[in-house]
Each structure stands twice: as C-alpha cells, then as structure tokens.
Amino acid sequence: MNSSMDDTVLSGQQQDWQSPTVAELHRVALVIQYIGTHFHGWQRQPNLRTVQEEIETVLQSVIGYPVILYGAGRTDAGVHAAAQVAHFAAPVQIPAHRWTDILNHRLPRDIGIRAAAVVPERWHARFSALWRRYRYTIYTDLRPNLFVRPYVWHYYYGFLDESLMQAALTPLVGHHHLAAFHRSKSDRAHSWVEVQVAECRRQENFIQIELQASGFLYGMVRLIVGLLVEVGRGWRSPETFTQIWMEQRRDLVKYAAPPQGLCLLRVGYQEFPFSPDLWFDTQPQFVFSGMSEQKCCPN
C-alpha cells in the first residue's frame, strides 16, 4: 500500500492521475443511503440533480478521471434509499474501506456511505442482485406531523383497513405479468416480475407495505400502493384488486402514491462483503409511545 498517496487523497488534495490499466484497479462496492427529497432519482440525467451524478462527481474529483458508478436499482425522484448498493472501479493504491470516509467528507448531507469493500471482478451491483425490497409508509393520523412528513404519505381522508390491504397483496406473490403496475417511459421489454414478499402491517398510526422481488417495474410500487389504498377504504374488494392486475387493466390503475413514502430498504446477494447491521434494516420505523394524554399529563 502506498500510504503517502492514500493520506494525500484523504487530506483533500486532488490527484493528477491518468486513467490506470485494469491491473491497477479493483472493484469496490458501496452501501449507500440517501434522502431523496431533493433528488430527481438515482440515475444521472442532464441538468438535474441525481444521486449517481453527485457521487460520480466526487469520485472524479478524488481520482482525477471520470468514474462510472453502477447501482443495484433506479429510484424515482423523491424516493429514499436505506441501503442502495453500487460499485465502481477504483485505484488499488486506495484501500477499499477508506472510501467510506473519503466520500462522506465530500458528499452533500443528504447522501451517506455506510460501508465500502472490495468485491470480485465478476460481482455486479445490479446483475448479481437476487432481490430488492421496498417499504412504503403511510401515516393515517388526522393531524399532520412535521417530523414524519418527509418520509410518509399522510393519508387522513378516511380509515384504511390493513387486513383488506393484506388480503389484496397476498395473491401477488409468485411469477406474474404485472403490466397494470408498469408506468410508461420504461425501457424494460416485458412486465413479468417474480414477487417474493408482499406484506402490509399497521403500527399505531403507520401502515407499512413491504414488497420484495427479483426486480421492479418502473413505478410499480407506487402504483400498487395507489390502488391498494382504494381497497383499504373499501372502494374496491381484494378480489377486484387481483382481477385488475391479472387482466392487465392499466386503465383502472389511475393513481400513484406520492414518492416520499417510498424507500429502497435493501438489496440481497448470494455473495455480499457487508455484515447485516450495515444494510439489513437501517430505515428507522416510526412508532409513537401510544401513551394517552391522561397518562403522560396527570392532573
């Protein structure tokens, strides 16, 4: 290891390196968190602020030449990530674990690197992934709460029955054609998805919907939640929900849930160099005390 080169990078002095040969590179994986509020999604787009571009810009400023960051999935504008995974080719002179500090000292406050590690050259953040898991959080209290608003859909229009919503979700598990939950402007050639988990649960005033699949269609989770709320309100039955997607009735799926309630929870791999405490369930869950006013404020 060239310690002087490593120390120079950490001190913020830009290296004037030329693009190295493959032999001088190793593949580094990152576990990334970001608050999606002020981003136009993960993927680089012209003249728009994206997570990929922010990190790539910092990598280039440190290494001295353009770097491509490959993500496990593309999140939409306003969507958060608790444990997005990505990889890039890095100079071997910088130990992989140092990239956590190097990046966190330079990235904006709404992006954080949880960990960095070397992975085999055959390993790919996107193509090696076995599944992705998303969580959508709905806040059902009649009163607003500024401390949860950036991360939930505040749905106060009426009671939502989570048992009906779970009944609608259960048939989704399996290999299905889900064109009804596929937004336009997607470059994916088909709408077949292997759904592995579909769960809905309530914790006090919060309803959490978690979906795990081998891959997700463009806009899939938000469209599912938008239709699922109609089931929770009693406007549609769980059977009608199932019939809509089985018959590919995209015309009946009219509303997408807002983006701020959605979070890429984690990504699963057969080979992963990180311990579960770094990536498995790092999005805090909102649970209030449940104490009554009489208990917390005695006479």
Catalytic residues, by residue number, are 76
| Contact by Cβ (8 Å): 104, 32 | no
Distance CA 133, CA 149 (A): 22
C-alpha 160/C-alpha 137 separation (Å) is: 13
3-state helix, strand, coil in the chain (%, to 5): 30, 25, 45
Q: How far apart, in Å, are the Cα atoms of 47 and each of 35, 39, 53, 117, 170?
A: 19, 12, 10, 31, 41
Q: Distance between CA atoms of 180 and 143, rounded to whole angstroms?
A: 33
Among 17, 55, 15, smallest CA distance to 34 is for 55
